[in-house]
């Protein structure tokens, strides 16, 4: 095997960037693609307060535009009577930028832990032209310990009862910061995940193995005889134990 040409994780080269700095190169641009219209003054106070300084504008889309929604629900078990909590697919809130990681999404979208949004999934939405949206900046949100989730992403309120047909793809949101633009080829996620670690036998367990690069669960643990040592750019030596089986990824870590 030619290890030098494999797509291996170089832990020496991992650089943590400020939240919002990577996806800024890819985010949906509203300027010139929307037309301002009469402001929606019927929004409830809690919704108005979700915008920084309570400032928001109402627009009509002139062309189809891509938006992103991070979501995920959780339950204690698969039992039919189990209570499902969290953020569902097809919810009202979206944004113009994809999630760089679960942590970055929590910071940029100011997702309080009490809301139980697992941030495990992201849907990419192609909103048609001639749709009315409400736009502002996500306000900071205080945590119980007095610290702030800063917010700062562009917040979109989608049309009420928007169509599932507008979703063009899903993906698992990675725990590690993205280094390449994400692909949305994940099948429709389960309605909810259950609490449980990676060894839990349920297919919809919350924490399950995934490729840290692309988020795919189509991965394989290498046999002992297949594992190899990769030398990072700073001389660090790392044993590659897993590989992603997605054709356009092929990542080793």
- b or e along 149-174 (b: 16 or more beta carbons within 10 Å of the residue's beta carbon)? bbbbbbbbbbeeebeeebbebbbbbb
Domain of 21 in residue numbering reads as 17-212
Helices (H), 45-114: 45-48, 102-108
This model's pTM is above 0.85: yes
| Closest among 246, 165, 208, 198 to 72, alpha carbons compared | 208
Does 126 fall in a domain?
Answer: yes
pLDDT of 181 reads: 93
Asked if 97 contacts 22 with a C-beta cutoff of 8 angstroms, the reply is: no
Does 242 fall in a domain?
Answer: no
Alpha-carbon torsion 39, 42, 48, 54, what sign?
positive
pLDDT of 200 reads: 52
pLDDT of 136 reads: 98
pLDDT of 206 reads: 80
pLDDT of 209 reads: 85
Does 249 fall in a domain?
Answer: no
Helices (H), 23-144: 45-48, 102-108
Asked if 118 contacts 193 with a C-beta cutoff of 8 angstroms, the reply is: yes
Sequence-distant (6+) residues with CB within 8 A of 210 are 172, 174, 216, 217, 219
pLDDT along the chain (253 residues), means of 10: 77 94 97 93 93 97 98 90 94 98 97 95 98 98 93 97 97 93 91 71 73 91 96 96 93 96
Does 218 fall in a domain?
Answer: no
Q: How many domains does the chain have?
A: 1
Return the residue matching tokens 């900046």.
Answer: 137
| Closest among 153, 6, 194 to 68, alpha carbons compared | 153
Does 2 fall in a domain?
Answer: no
Does 220 fall in a domain?
Answer: no
Does 125 fall in a domain?
Answer: yes
Does 83 fall in a domain?
Answer: yes
């Amino acid at each position: 095997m030619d290890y030098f040409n494999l797509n291996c994780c170089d832990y020496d080269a991992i650089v943590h960037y400020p939240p919002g700095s990577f996806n800024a190169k890819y985010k949906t641009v509203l300027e010139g693609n929307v037309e301002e219209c009469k402001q929606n003054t019927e929004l409830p106070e809690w919704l108005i307060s979700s915008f920084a300084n309570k400032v928001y504008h109402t627009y009509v889309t002139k062309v189809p535009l891509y938006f992103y929604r991070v979501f995920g629900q959780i339950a204690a078990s698969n039992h039919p009577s189990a209570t499902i909590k969290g953020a569902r697919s097809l919810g009202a809130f979206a944004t113009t930028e994809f999630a760089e990681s679960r942590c970055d999404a929590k910071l940029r979208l100011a997702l309080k832990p009490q809301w139980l949004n697992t941030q495990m999934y992201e849907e990419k939405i192609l909103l048609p032209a001639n749709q009315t949206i409400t736009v502002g900046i996500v306000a900071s949100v205080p945590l119980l310990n007095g610290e702030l989730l800063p917010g700062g992403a562009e917040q979109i309120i989608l049309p009420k009862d928007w169509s599932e047909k507008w979703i063009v793809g899903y993906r698992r949101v990675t725990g590690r910061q993205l280094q390449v633009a994400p692909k949305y080829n994940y099948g429709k996620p389960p309605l909810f995940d259950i609490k449980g670690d990676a060894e839990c036998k349920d297919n919809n367990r919350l924490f399950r193995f995934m490729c840290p690069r692309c988020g795919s669960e189509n991965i394989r643990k290498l046999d002992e005889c297949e594992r190899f040592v990769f030398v990072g750019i700073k001389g660090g030596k790392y044993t590659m134990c897993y590989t992603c089986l997605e054709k356009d990824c092929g990542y080793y870590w």
